[in-house]
Chain A
Amino acid sequence: MGEYPKTYEVVVIGAGHAGCEAALATARMGLSTLLLTANLDTIAQMSCNPAIGGLAKGQLVREVDALGGEMARCIDRTGIQFRLLNRRKGPAVRSSRAQADRYEYRRYMKRVLEEQENLDLKQAIVERIVAGEGRVCGVETEHGVYFPSKTVIVTTGTFLRGLMHVGLRQQEGGRAGDVCVKGLSASLESLGLRLGRLKTGTPPRLDGGTIDFEGLEPQYGDENPRPFSFTTREITRPQVPCHITYTSERTHEIIRAGLDCSPLYTGVIKGTGPRYCPSIEDKVVRFPEKVRHQIFLEPESMETREIYPNGVPTSLSLDTQIRFLRTIPGLERVEIMRPGYAVEYDFAFPTQLKPTLESKQVTNLFLAGQVNGTSGYEEAAAQGIMAGINAAASLRGEEPLILGRSDAYIGVLIDDLVTHGTNEPYRMFTSRAEYRLLLREDNADLRLFEKGYERGLLSRERYEACARKKRQIAAVLEMLSERRLKPDPPTQARLREIGQAPLKQPVNLKQFLRRPSAGVAHLPLLGIPMEPFDAGVWEEVEIQVKYESYIEREIEEVERLRKFENLAFPEDMRYRDLSGLSREVQEKLEQIRPVNLGQASRISGVTPAAIASLMIHLKKRGSR
């Protein structure tokens, strides 16, 4: 057909979790956007477990929401079991997780895409990214259609040269039942990007009708499910339980006996798999002393009996899969509906990207999601929206949006990727965030709403609501430090009534709230009038008061380091010409091309002496 008669401002390749957010972001920012997918029926497909959120991932989802993304709203409408994890371990490590109705989820997302203005959705496999003079100009599909475009965002997940393994049998494809994309890898390589190989795995899907749930421990969702999105008032869908069961010694024997047909243990698989999500055969081999491994039986959807057994990803032969599954309580008669498999795929080393997710080699070519070596829907969505925002910024000649490590998990994620790269599928953990106490789920909106609004992704209305919340919090905090409780008889009596120790001396309300057992709920009982603010305001107030000294310490640290973050390198910095740097350091800096001294200092192998020299060079340049 040749050249498509319309030039898009943005073409997004792949409609997974990254692609959807990227395309929605650019379209919402008013850019004409084309989203291409190999299969319109698997938009926002959950290739692995049917769940959104979890530790650190919940934070990511809420951050994406605060910036105006869709993932949180989507799961709020299609989730079938919501739980807030780590409820008792402290607000900084509290994360939401929800089981999704996989079919509903993708249908909802498809509908949102279809209804989005400025967004065209088409089914096509991209063969080639076309670039000239180091700048993208469009994409070409396998049917020979050329879509001219000013920017291209690659969000192809695990599809690049995907190769699936079940036992020693292989099949090309990025996901069971889907195609394998071959041309694009070569195209990326010809544009100068280096690709590596990763591996991930997924468990077999089971027929719930052949599972005996009686006698298995059920796991219910929270009674009052908390939505992911700051815009969702309430979760209305009925909630369903998951069930918990365990492998046994017998299971492990069968697995061990089946290792000769394992592509992992026979060296067939070359890609590196994630350490945090090992296959069941890996767990059995590496932790022989463990007598059982936990399995969550998660419903895939209300429309199907298919069950996702979380905890047993495997690429053992189908025969071994069915035999070991049947040793597991509740699964004695189980039937496998789809086999578990491992998939190897190409990824692009993310150190080739700027912190905007734009490729350093090709202007206006952005990469986001699993193609950058991450794993997880949430990590993908986070990159997707950032790639979208920065593609728009690039087109409009605006400042890019780069989130810092103290701004958001998104900042940690992208900084880790572009500074350190990864050699296993990268997943977010709260332990990766040095300012964990600042990066909470509860304050994601407060941290990011201004940025989302500035970029045109939040409505005026939503902006006002966030700004109001911020003001209300400030007002309450001020009131709390001003108002005092005095140890007079009526106060002491009230304290006694609510089970609080009496006062020894006058305290302000902040001090009172710092008592471990005290909470904002006590305030009206002590005769302190509470403004009718949202629950979110009070939650925030309580956390900020109780954690004040800890939060302050982290903020101080952020401020101390800001000096380094503020020393930006000019784009044309020629590290090889700088004196006082070892050759090795020069090469490292050339490769990563840090945007500022802070990032430079995080590059492994960049010595303190080098940082000192860089500082001197920067000062010299600045004073010229």
Chain B
Amino acid sequence: MKVPALPLDGDTIVAVSTPFGVGGIGIVRISGPAAEKTAAQLFHPKTPSERFTSHQFYYGHICDPRDNSVVDEALMVLMRAPKTYTREDIVEIHCHGGALPVRRILELVVSRGVRPAEPGEFTRRAFMNGRIDLVQAEAVADIVEAKSATALRFAQRQLDGGLSQEIRGVRETLKDLLMEMEAWLDFPEEDLPDPDFDRIRGRIEEMIGAVRELSATYAEAHLYRDGVSLVIGGRPNVGKSTLLNVLVGKERAIVSPLPGTTRDYLEESVVLAGIPVRMIDTAGLREDAGEIEARGVAFARRQIETADFLLYVVDATRLESERWGRVADFAPAGRTLVVINKIDLVPAAALESGMGSLPPGVPRVAVSALYRTGIENLGEEIERQLTGDKLDLDSRAVITNVRHRQALERCLDALERAAGQASARPVPGDLLAADLRHALRALGEILGETTPEEILRGIFDTFCIGK
């Protein structure tokens, strides 16, 4: 569930900037008062400078402040308010256009307390701050939204190194085939051999396999881009807020021994295993709540129902009193992790037996939020649940962008048609070429366009044309 972000003062946001695509590079854009500070913490210019000059690009490296390891080579530009798109301080980090570096940098920025922006939030801020009028805002939205080839051919590329290589591989094959086709179509009177269509079909089928595989990685991987919401729910006083504070690494939520402390919800963004996670602390679920609290409870239920993921916290000392049947009603199946908290208060043996009262098959982790035991284990379990153990991102190309995935699907459709045309006899050359062009154009939305001139150049370099 998306909670629309309010244009809070003092709030700094970050996003991978897509609207004004340039291609080839990834841009992480930070807007808000903490932008400069964050940049100073992460960005190390090649030539050290006291203070960044506004609107000037600096070349350097993004480093992880925890161990000073270099994450990526990057260009950084700081644009101080008010002459910026949002009229707030803006920092742009231009890095390599792969999902991996972009994601790492995003993760680092978020770890510095910067919130991932809602879609369109930069434009919204620009509008709110009087930087642009509504017409402009709409025009920008048009551009972002436009599905037209012209708009999309400029679209941003944010690709994993491996990914862009795999797609590039497909594109090279497509270019080769198209070159062969176009030469055959455009130069019938040259002394060129007819294409071997069985071989062409074979290559098309190889591409279909490759593209299909790439496209399939999306379902698993989109969460790396879009992130997930994780709700911490449970009965009052079980330690939800304490757990949130532990997980986000700071005192964010108010903790008290009184049940019903959290009446509204609270959220905090963190990056876990490379996944942007919005953690939401909720009011404890109880029936006998006061009016204000009751609203909080109702809200908490809704949060839980729409959450991507639920941490259901229970008190180790009161395991028997949990009504598991009720929990199963609202807990999202397969996306719930039971956290048994306060294990410091019960002897190991009692815990063991208490666990028996949990419904079987529900994943669980025992922790003490107060003493921070089992937290690492919990983190790992969350990551495992989120990624489903399916992805090894560093070694595999994955699609994380919904637009890219759509482009691949279109490419796939075109390739499937092409395979059909390549099997017909005589081969309808114009249709086969049209399909290959469509496939190539679809990939162009990810990698940038291939112009007819490039194909022609290939033909003249490869074939001796010149009747």
> What residues make up the interface of A, taking CB atoms closer than 8 Å to B?
54-56, 85-86, 88-93, 275-278, 282-283, 286-287, 290, 292-294, 296, 310-311, 313, 429-432, 434, 436-437, 516, 547, 550, 553-554, 557, 560-561, 563-564, 598, 601, 607-609, 611-612, 615-616, 619-620, 623
Contact = CB atoms under 8 A, between A and B. Distances in A.
Contacts of B427: 89
Given A93-B430, A436-B434, A431 B188 contact: no
A376 B155 CA distance: 37
Nearest to A563: B148
A444 to B, nearest CB: 16
B188 A85 contact: yes
B191 interface: yes
9 contacts: A85-B189, A90-B430, A93-B429, A276-B465, A430-B186, A431-B456, A437-B430, A516-B424, A612-B140
Contacts of B142: 615
Contact of B464 (A283, A431, A550, A612): A283
Nearest to A601: B150
- Which residue, A55, A277, A553, A616, has most C-beta atoms of chain B within 10 A? A616
Given A276-B466, A431-B456, A564 B148 contact: yes
A437 B185 contact: no
A557 B21 CA distance: 21
A311 B466 CA distance: 6
Contacts of B151: 608, 611
B402 interface: no
Contact of B452 (A286, A434, A554, A607): A434
B424 A560 contact: no
Contacts of B20: 608-609, 612
Interface in B409-467: 424, 426-431, 433-434, 437-438, 452, 455-457, 459-460, 464-467
Nearest to B189: A85
B47 to A, nearest CB: 24
Interface in B138-162: 138-140, 142-143, 146-151, 153-155
Contacts of B434: 92, 436-437, 550, 554
Given A55-B185, A286-B464, A290-B464, A611 B430 contact: no
A615 B429 contact: no
A54 B467 CA distance: 11
Contact of B430 (A283, A292, A436, A601): A436
A393 B155 CA distance: 39
Interface in B120-151: 132, 135-136, 138-140, 142-143, 146-151
Nearest to A564: B150
B135 A86 contact: no
Contacts of A611: 143, 150-151, 154
B60 interface: no
Interface in B94-115: none
B149 A560 contact: yes
Q: Which 5 A-B pairs have the closest CB atoms?
A: A608-B154, A90-B430, A89-B429, A92-B430, A609-B20
B26 to A, nearest CB: 15
Contacts of A91: 430
B55 to A, nearest CB: 13
Contact of A612 (B19, B428, B430, B433): B19
A608 B136 contact: no
Contact of B426 (A88, A296, A564): A88
A623 B138 CA distance: 13
Given A278-B466, A287-B464, A612-B20, A557 B149 contact: yes
Contacts of A86: 185, 188, 429
B154 A89 contact: no
Nearest to A435: B434
A310 B154 CA distance: 43
A607 B464 contact: no
B176 interface: no
A90 B429 contact: yes
Interface residues of B, number: 52
Contacts of A293: 191, 464, 466
B190 interface: yes
A547 B140 CA distance: 37
B327 interface: no
Contacts of B182: 429-431
Contacts of B154: 601, 607-609, 611
Contacts of B459: 431
A379 B426 CA distance: 31
A55 B21 contact: no
Nearest to B451: A604
B186 A55 contact: yes
B216 interface: no
A620 B135 contact: yes
Contacts, number: 147
Contact of B148 (A282, A286, A560): A560
B362 interface: no
A564 B147 CA distance: 12
Contacts of B138: 619
Contacts of A294: 190-191, 467
Given A86-B429, A311-B467, A432-B452, A55 B139 contact: no
Contacts of B324: none
B371 interface: no
A56 B186 contact: yes
B149 A55 contact: no
B370 interface: no
A518 to B, nearest CB: 14
Given A429-B452, A615-B139, A616-B132, 8 more contacts: A89-B184, A293-B191, A431-B186, A434-B437, A436-B434, A561-B150, A601-B150, A608-B143
B330 interface: no
Nearest to B428: A90
Nearest to B154: A608
Contacts of B466: 276-278, 282-283, 293, 311, 313
A292 to B, nearest CB: 8
A370 to B, nearest CB: 19
B140 to A, nearest CB: 6
Given A294-B191, A516-B424, A550-B434, A431 B452 contact: yes
Given A608-B154, A616-B140, A547 B456 contact: no
- Which residue, B19, B21, B191, B427, has most C-beta atoms of chain A within 10 A? B191
Contacts of A283: 464, 466
A607 B22 contact: yes
Given A86-B188, A431-B455, A550 B431 contact: yes
B464 A430 contact: no
A275 B143 CA distance: 38
B148 A89 contact: no
Given A89-B185, A311-B467, A608 B21 contact: yes
Contacts of B21: 608-609
Contacts of A619: 135-136, 138-139
Contacts of A313: 466
Contacts of A554: 434
Contacts of B456: 275, 429, 431-432
A207 to B, nearest CB: 22
- Which residue, B185, B187, B428, B459, has most C-beta atoms of chain A within 10 A? B185
Contacts of A623: 135
Given A55-B185, A55-B187, A609 B467 contact: no
B189 to A, nearest CB: 7
A241 to B, nearest CB: 15
Given A560-B149, A615-B139, A55 B19 contact: no
B143 A615 contact: yes
A49 B146 CA distance: 47
B443 to A, nearest CB: 15
Contacts of A612: 19-20, 139-140, 143
A560 B188 contact: no
Contacts of A286: 464
B185 A608 contact: no
Contacts of B140: 612, 616
